Each structure stands twice: as C-alpha cells, then as structure tokens.
A = this chain, B = another copy of it.
Amino acid sequence: MSAQRRIAVILGVGPGLSASIAKTLSSTHSILLLSRSLPSSLPSLNLPSSIPSSNILAVSCDGSSASLKSAFEKLKETWPEGKVDVGVYNVNEKFEMKGFLEKSEDDLRRSLEAGVVGAWNLSSILLPLFLSNSPDSTSGARGVLLFTGATMALRGGAVFSNIASGMFARRALSQSLAREFGPQGVHVSHVIVDGMIDTERVKGIMGGSDTEGKRMKPDDIAESYKFLVEQKRSAWTQELDLRPDVEKW
C-alpha cells in the first residue's frame, strides 16, 4: 500500500523564494502554486525538470475567498486522494520609497490585502482541512502553516507606513493562530526574512553578481521552511529570523 499523497499549497508565487520552497517540498509533496500571474508565469519559475509535472498544479488566485475556493476545487479534482498538510503564505508587495503624505488610503488598503486578508483567507480554507488530518507519523503535525514575514513586521519605518501595517497584522494573525491551533496539532510559524533575496529581478536591478554575499539565496531560505515542516511537535518554532551573515540589523 502506498502512502497517501501529501499536498503543499503556496500562495504568492514568483520566481524567487516560492519557487525554491516548491522545489524543496517537492521531494515529499505535490504542490499547488497560487498567484495572480499563474499559470502563465509558470515557466518563469524555472522549476527543475526533475519534478514530475503531474506533481505541480498552478492556478490563478488573487487571495480572495472566492478565488481560493475555486483553486481548491481544482486541487480536489486533480488530486482527489491527497491530503493537504502544508500551507505557505508568501505574498509580497512591491515597496515604494514614499513618505506617508505621498501615500493614500488605497496604498494602505492594498497593503492590508496583501499583508493579512489573503493570509486570513488561506488560513480559513486550510485549517479545517488540517484538523481533519491524522497527525503526521513523524512530526506529529496535522498540518503546518507558514507565514513569510519581514523586518517590517517588527518595526515600522518612515517609508513603511502602509506596508508595515500589513506585515505587523500578518504577524498578529500568525501568533493568534499558533496559540489557538497549536494545541490542536497545527504548527503555525512566522519566518522573518531580513534581507534582500537574490532573485532575477534583484539581479536585474543590482547587477548579476553578489560579490559581497549580501543577498539571501532563495534555496538557502527554503531550507528553513522545509525544516519547519518537519519539526516535531514537542519542540515547535513559532518564529525565527533569517538574514545573511553580513547583514546589519
């Protein structure tokens, strides 16, 4: 008898960190990739050909409740026998170097959508699925829910008035869910990524080579997500920070 298919859902997928997380988790999981630009942007993720395409499902999703519902229906059709036991909320927002008075209420609202509303909606659809799982035989988790955070989740800043509001709120949600669902066997973590990730976009802006080691490699970051997925329930991490050795903080 073969083991049941495990499924990880990643919301907020671009060619950087999410692709690396998908790659890392693909050794144990089928992956549902969700973002506004999918599935057409799938080739840009450069997922390795070693991942069978039957283990990847890429669906357009804007983080709204309706959009998530529709994506999970496709998930159910595609892998009806699978169990969803990992969720990653990795939605990032483009940051604008503008002062508060140059920003509008709409900037705040957009940051709140990206920061916490999408995370709330993903959690709403994942947690009931997790609670219906039996505990994983190794980790003891019924499910693992990972939120990507940033330094802006811990400190406001002069040009971060909107985006920090969203990221603080995401952290609040992550702590609240950890306190509520930890005792029910769900592992909820908040990963503070404190540094610039070495993506194609960053290479385009800053130059291709990072001679000083200042950029975070997406694959290196993804290893911590993988580790959190596997952590055992008697010693779970709720929050950790990640930064390059040379980063000032």
Which one of A41-49, A54-62, A77-85, A216-224 is at the B interface? A216-224
Q: Interface size (A, Cβ < 8 Å)?
A: 81
* A121 at the binding interface (Cβ < 8 Å): yes
**Is A95's beta carbon under 8 Å from chain B?**
no
Bound: A194/B227 CA distance, A? 19
Copies of this protein, total: 4
Instruction: Tell me the smallest distance from the CB of A176 to a CB of chain B, in Å.
Output: 3
CB pair B235 A231 closer than 8 Å: no
The interface-forming segment of A7-15, A26-34, A161-169, A200-208 is A161-169
Q: Are A245 and B127 in contact (CB under 8 A)?
A: no
Contact (Cβ within 8 A) A100 B112:
no
Q: Contacts A175-B155, A176-B156, A220-B234; is A245 near B161 (CB within 8 Å)?
A: no
Beta-carbon contacts under 8 Å, A170-208 to B: 170-183, 185, 187, 193, 195, 198
- Compute how far the CA of A56 lies from the CA of B178 in the bound complex, rounded to whole angstroms: 39
Is A116 in the interface zone, CB < 8 Å from B?
yes
Instruction: Please provide the 9 A-B residue pairs with the shortest distance between their CB atoms, ordered closest to farther.
Output: A156-B175, A156-B176, A168-B172, A240-B240, A158-B180, A161-B176, A168-B168, A164-B172, A165-B169
